[in-house]
Amino acid sequence: MKATIAVLPGDGIGPEVTAEGVRVLRAVGTKFGHGFELREALIGGCAIDRTGSALPAETSALCRAADAILLGAVGGPKWDDPNAAVRPEQGLFAIRRELGLYANLRPVTTHPKLMAASTLRPEVLAGVDMLVVRELTGGLYFGEKKRTADRASDLCEYTVEEIRRVVRRAAGFARLRRKKLTSVDKANALETSRLWRHTTREIVHKEFPDLTLEHVLVDACAMYLMRKPSSFDVIVTENMFGDILTDEASVLAGSMGLLPSASLGDGKRGLYEPIHGSAPDIAGRGIANPYATILSVAMLLRHSLGLAREAAAVEKAVDAAIARGILPADVAPAGTPSASTVAAGQAVLDAL
């Protein structure tokens, strides 16, 4: 098949890990006979420096025309002023909004070779295999914001339709897995969460009666993720809760450098990125973990291009590289040599 893929390396370690994702995409194209056209563009801090905008018009146009988007990361100390009129994260928020990418998928699994990288006991980590579906374009991050000298507010707002569409996506994935859906909210305190819970119950009971649905308060969910993470199958939740819980869930895998994500809308086009940030403290040192980006490439192949066999091959290659002990610094056991970004990427290519 032929496909156009927009590549947005971004800031910090973004260009380093994205380069390994691009190498894998090219290898998949060669091995399986696909024609991938990879076109690079600016987003985030580097885009502000070059154009004055976190999402230049050229980048936006490329993303709208592409079949999929691969993103590195945005932000860094250079652009950290919260009072700045233009900030790197605005580019990310804007592209999600423009493309209607309302469902963020974050799979979390554990690898036997990496049990020691987590701070949790191996028996707690056994059998962890979950998918968190985070609503991505509503809630506090996108609500009206006000600030005066002595007061500030952020509006958390959701419509029934915003909740319905993300719950339907999550329930669809649960139907293909172990048929259990956990909806996370704060319905004991927030009206938005009460609407969320009511709407979720209505959708699942009417359209997905084959699923087991449970409602869990966000604070309890945070505790259960650490105490009994294998009890979760698919979790669906609102924007800020999902952001926080998936960062917490990275402890299960051992590092943020291992977790990919996909941001999807109603069509096939999606944006794919590791869940980690730009990690400016290690940028340019060649030690960033590329596995999350490469696994994001696998999600790109599966969800946007419909290439399930190729996606599985990439995932198997990452598993093989980890099993060989090719471990970047964030997951390598203390006192042992760690793999560079390029070496980890090459290990995946060798396995592929």
- Is residue 330 flagged as an active site residue? no
- Is residue 141 flagged as an active site residue? yes
Q: Which of 31-40, 53-62, 87-96, 230-239 has the lowest mean pLDDT?
A: 87-96
Tokens of 98: 């423009």
Phi and psi for 71 in degrees, rounded to 5? -115, 145
| DSSP of 63-94 | HHHSSEEEEEE---GGG--TT-SS-HHHHHHH
CA nearest neighbour of 128 among 215, 10, 254? 254
Average pLDDT over residues 283-310: 98
Tell me the domains of the chain and their CATH numbers: 1-102+262-352 (3.40.718.10), 119-253 (3.40.718.10)
For residue 259, what pLDDT band results from cuts at 50, 70 and 90? very high
Return mean pLDDT, the chain.
Answer: 96
Tokens of 248: 């917490």
Q: How far apart are CA 163 and CA 153, in angstroms?
A: 23
Examine the pLDDT at 82 and tell me if it is beyond 90.
no
Examine the pLDDT at 205 and tell me if it is beyond 90.
yes
Q: Which of 78, 113, 186, 316 is catalytic?
A: 186
Q: Which of 219, 266, 281, 350 is catalytic?
A: 219
- Is residue 243 flagged as an active site residue? yes
CA nearest neighbour of 132 among 276, 45, 259, 5? 259
For residue 87, what pLDDT band results from cuts at 50, 70 and 90? very high
- CB-facing half-sphere around the CA of 273: CA atoms within 13 A: 25
Q: Which of 243, 272, 291, 330 is catalytic?
A: 243
Phi and psi for 125 in degrees, rounded to 5? -85, -15
Tokens of 175: 């139907």
The residue ranges of DSSP E strands in 149-250, in sequence order, are: 152-154, 180-185, 212-217, 234-237
For residue 23, what pLDDT band results from cuts at 50, 70 and 90? very high
Query: What kind and span of H or E run contains 349?
Result: helix 341-351
Q: What is the pLDDT of residue 83?
A: 83
Q: How far apart are CA 205 and CA 294, in angstroms?
A: 37
Q: Which of 113, 129, 224, 247 is catalytic?
A: 247
The residue ranges of DSSP E strands in 48-191, in sequence order, are: 68-73, 103-109, 129-135, 145-147, 152-154, 180-185
Q: How far apart are CA 166 and CA 168, in angstroms?
A: 5
- CB-facing half-sphere around the CA of 93: CA atoms within 13 A: 15
Q: Which of 78, 113, 129, 141 is catalytic?
A: 141
Q: What is the pLDDT of residue 297?
A: 98
Phi and psi for 75 in degrees, rounded to 5? 105, 175
Q: Which of 25-39, 116-130, 153-167, 337-351 has the lowest mean pLDDT?
A: 116-130
Average pLDDT over residues 129-142: 95
CA nearest neighbour of 340 among 54, 20, 70, 5? 20
For residue 71, what pLDDT band results from cuts at 50, 70 and 90? very high
Q: How distant, in Å, are the alpha carbons of 28, 185, 227, 231 from that of 124?
A: 35, 24, 7, 10
Could you tell me how far CA 266 lies from the centroid of its own chain? 17
- CB-facing half-sphere around the CA of 226: CA atoms within 13 A: 11
Examine the pLDDT at 81 and tell me if it is beyond 90.
no
- Is residue 2 flagged as an active site residue? no
- Is residue 210 flagged as an active site residue? no
Q: How far apart are CA 245 and CA 218, in angstroms?
A: 8
Q: What angle do CA 26, 27, 28 make, to 5 degrees?
A: 90
Tokens of 72: 């590195």
